[in-house]
């Protein structure tokens, strides 16, 4: 028997998982992830939170999407990483991308303890990623 989950329920569950991750970290990484999450929603309030790639060996990753993945928020021992799914196609006028620079598609921003992020530039990147996703959607023929 298949179980259906409402979109609202899935979003609430993802948000709860992200809240739990932030609380579980309990250090600068949790604070930074929460701060970045807030900036993402300030950049585009229509972005949807998701929790993806959970499996036995990994608890999963926060994902922010709108018409496709905008970015993910991974946490590591010494960094919080925002990975933009189509980052290589974005103009990074402020030079925020500092990781995964060799790839053909993704780009990432590694943030270390004590570092500040250019909030205006980050919101600009998020908006550009949304525009790219929206414009990349196949147009309906009807």
Which domain CATH number covers 16?
A: 3.90.1150.200
* The two structure tokens encoding residue 38: 């807030």
pTM listed for this prediction: 0.85
Residue 3 has pLDDT above 90, yes or no: no
142 belongs to a structural domain:
no
Where in the sequence is the domain holding 37, given as residue range(s)? 7-135
Residue 11 has a pLDDT of 53
Sign of CA dihedral 103, 107, 111, 116: positive
Q: Is-contact 100 87, C-beta < 8 A?
A: yes
- 45 Cβ partners below 8 Å, 6+ apart? none
Overall domain count for the chain? 1
Across the range 17-34, mean pLDDT stands at 92
Residue 71 has a pLDDT of 97
Least Cα distance to 15 among 26, 29, 41 occurs for 41
pLDDT per residue over 117-127, tens digit each?
999 999 999 99
Residue 102 has pLDDT above 60, yes or no: yes
34 belongs to a structural domain:
yes
Percent of the chain past pLDDT 70, that is, above it, reads 88
C-alpha–C-alpha distance, residues 88 and 68, integer Å: 15
73 belongs to a structural domain:
yes
């Amino acid at each position: 028997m298949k179980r259906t989950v409402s979109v609202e329920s899935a979003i609430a569950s993802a948000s709860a998982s992200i809240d739990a991750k932030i609380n579980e970290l309990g250090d600068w990484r949790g604070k930074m992830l929460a701060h970045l999450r807030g900036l993402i929603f300030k950049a585009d309030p229509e972005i949807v939170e998701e929790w993806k790639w959970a499996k036995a060996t990994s608890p999963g990753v926060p994902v922010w999407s709108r018409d496709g993945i905008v970015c993910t928020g991974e946490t590591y021992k010494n960094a919080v990483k925002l990975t933009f799914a189509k980052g290589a196609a974005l103009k990074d006028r402020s030079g925020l991308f500092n990781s995964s620079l060799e790839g053909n598609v993704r780009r990432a921003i590694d943030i270390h303890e004590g570092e500040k992020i250019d909030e205006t530039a980050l919101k600009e990147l998020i908006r550009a990623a949304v525009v790219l996703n929206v414009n990349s959607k196949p147009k309906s023929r009807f």
